[in-house]
Amino acid sequence: MNEDALLDARVRRGLQALPMPDEQLTAAALEEVTRGRPAPRRPAPRRPWHLALAAAVVVALLVLGPQLLRALLTDEEPEPAPSPGGELRGTWTRTLDGAGDPAWDGPWTIGFADGGVLTLSPPRALVAGTDGAAYATSGAQVRVDAFVNGACNELPPGTYAWSRSADGLRLTAVDDACAPRVELLAGTWTEQSP
């Protein structure tokens, strides 16, 4: 056992004998256990919270610094988070039959795209205010504002439960006061081939 190892063993034993190893007691114990021989040159004792705080700040700067600097130095808006949607994303088709407004009958295509964009292609010749629609998912539910400037004027967006199966995409109305939108959306949609 070398000199340093012997010193460590003495320090450890001495500290274990103390009931409350606070700062003053530890200093006194160190002095006691090392008495009789010159203390080796060691770095001055550091306060652990300083080290932890400094380390945390450095880590935070390393992690967040580039983003903060980008926000400060550029006019770019941060990239939008990809809208959740998972398996809902895609293009789906369905043929509506027996709608309250016969002009709505026929083949429809619906697209759940990136950025929360909901595209709707109505049957030929129908102008139903399909532009500018959006969707937002929350778990197994999706909110849609389609037709807010058309058939669903002055009505709030609708909420639908969605699920995928071998048959396609199934939408079930949870809360929607707009009857034409329910007629169109609620049902099973077939995935459009790419």
Residues at the interface with another protein (CB under 8 A) = 46-47, 50-51, 53-54, 57-58, 60-61, 64-65, 67-69, 71-72, 75-80, 83, 114-117, 127-136, 143-145, 148-150, 153-157
Task: Describe the chain by its helix, strand, coil percentages, rounded to 5.
Answer: 35, 25, 40
DSSP-derived secondary structure letter, 37:
S
Q: How far is the CB of 88 from another protein (least distance, A)?
A: 14
Q: How far is the CB of 5 from another protein (least distance, A)?
A: 28
Shorter beta-carbon distance to another protein: residue 33 or 136 = 136
Shorter beta-carbon distance to another protein: residue 27 or 60 = 60
Q: In whole angstroms, what is the distance from residue 20 CA to residue 5 CA? A: 24
Pair 111, 164: CB distance under 8 Å: no
Shorter beta-carbon distance to another protein: residue 20 or 125 = 125
Q: In whole angstroms, what is the distance from residue 189 CA to residue 182 CA? A: 13
Q: How far is the CB of 145 from another protein (least distance, A)?
A: 4
Q: How far is the CB of 86 from another protein (least distance, A)?
A: 17
Shorter beta-carbon distance to another protein: residue 41 or 46 = 46
Q: How far is the CB of 189 from another protein (least distance, A)?
A: 19
Shorter beta-carbon distance to another protein: residue 34 or 83 = 83
Q: In whole angstroms, what is the distance from residue 42 CA to residue 61 CA? A: 31
DSSP-derived secondary structure letter, 105:
-
Q: In whole angstroms, what is the distance from residue 164 CA to residue 143 CA? A: 17
Q: How far is the CB of 155 from another protein (least distance, A)?
A: 8
Shorter beta-carbon distance to another protein: residue 9 or 140 = 140
Per-residue b or e along 70-92, where b marks 16 or more CB atoms closer than 10 Å to that residue's CB: eeeeeeeeeeeeebebeebebbb
Q: Which residues contact 92 (CB under 8 A, 6 or more apart)?
A: 109, 110, 111, 112, 168, 169, 189, 190, 191, 192
Q: What does the chain come to in residues?
A: 194
